[in-house]
């Protein structure tokens, strides 16, 4: 395979070689200056109920044997992370409450995919860079035309920050309230934990810059 470049190769091309994507993200991280996350917006959080039947398992280390990230998963396993301490649940874009979708559409993002992440008490998400798998699956044609440099990445916090709830973007520890929005560069290494006693809920917003 020819040498890949984040500015010229498409998201689709990187999904054939995600370990190279991780290596290039590390280079971008070393070059990064300033804060890792910017508080960009605040949106109203509508009241809604999450039916149990639409919640999917998105545990980080639930399955080692798929895709091009086995090396990454083996590294996580070697450090003590496993399917019990990396539990995460997920509501797909297509199942989100319409009132919440309407609010999320006020963000300056094109071709968005909104994914609700529900992190239960006692769970962590190890430090990682996102590979845009969910966005790639929903917009395969766009992924063949666009690079990671074309993208925008927001996190919208839904639940209040209880003691023990953390979100780290690079070396920045985020403080938030419901409806707060942060923007991170696509290459930002980030991690979350829930050492509290209630679910920590946020929406990941992936799309293209407007």
Task: Please state, in angstroms and rounded to a whole number, the distance separating the CA atoms of residues 156 and 173.
Answer: 15
Q: How many domains does the chain have?
A: 1
pLDDT (tens digit per residue) in 172-205: 999 999 999 999 999 999 999 999 999 999 999 9
> What is residue 43's predicted lDDT score, i.e. its pLDDT?
96
Close Cβ partners of 124 (under 8 Å, ≥ 6 residues apart)? 81, 85, 86, 191, 192, 193, 194
pLDDT (tens digit per residue) in 102-117: 999 999 999 999 999 9
> What is residue 68's predicted lDDT score, i.e. its pLDDT?
61
Which residue's entry shows tokens 């996190």? 155
In a domain, 105, yes or no: yes
pLDDT (tens digit per residue) in 60-116: 888 766 656 777 888 888 999 999 999 999 999 999 999 999 999 999 999 999 999
In a domain, 1, yes or no: no
38: buried, middle or exposed (CB in 10 Å: 19+, 13-18, 0-12)? middle
In a domain, 2, yes or no: no
Range of the domain at 109: 11-209
In a domain, 193, yes or no: yes
Q: In Å, how far are 13, 105, 201 from 156, measured between CA atoms? A: 28, 12, 9
Task: Please state, in angstroms and rounded to a whole number, the distance separating the CA atoms of residues 110 and 21.
Answer: 23
In a domain, 138, yes or no: yes
In a domain, 171, yes or no: yes
In a domain, 6, yes or no: no
In a domain, 152, yes or no: yes
CATH of the domain at 133: 2.60.120.10
């Amino acid at each position: 395979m020819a040498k890949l470049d984040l500015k010229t190769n498409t998201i689709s091309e990187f999904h054939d070689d995600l370990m190279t994507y991780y290596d290039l993200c590390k280079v971008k991280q070393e070059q990064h200056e300033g804060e890792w996350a910017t508080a960009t917006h605040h949106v109203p959080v509508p009241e809604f109920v999450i039916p149990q039947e639409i919640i999917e398992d998105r545990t980080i280390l639930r399955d080692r044997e798929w895709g091009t990230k086995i090396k990454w998963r083996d590294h996580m396993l070697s450090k003590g992370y496993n399917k019990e301490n990396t539990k995460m649940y997920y509501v797909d874009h297509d199942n989100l409450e319409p009132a919440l979708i309407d609010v999320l559409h006020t963000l300056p993002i094109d071709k968005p995919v909104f994914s609700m992440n529900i992190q239960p008490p006692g769970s962590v998400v190890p430090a990682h860079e996102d590979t845009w798998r969910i966005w790639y699956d929903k917009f395969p044609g766009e992924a063949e035309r666009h690079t990671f440099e074309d993208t925008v990445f927001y996190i919208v916090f839904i639940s209040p920050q209880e003691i023990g709830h953390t979100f780290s973007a690079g070396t920045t520890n985020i403080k938030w309230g419901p409806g707060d929005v942060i923007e991170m560069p696509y290459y930002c290494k980030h991690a979350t934990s829930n050492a509290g006693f209630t679910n920590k809920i946020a929406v990941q917003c992936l799309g293209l810059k407007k």
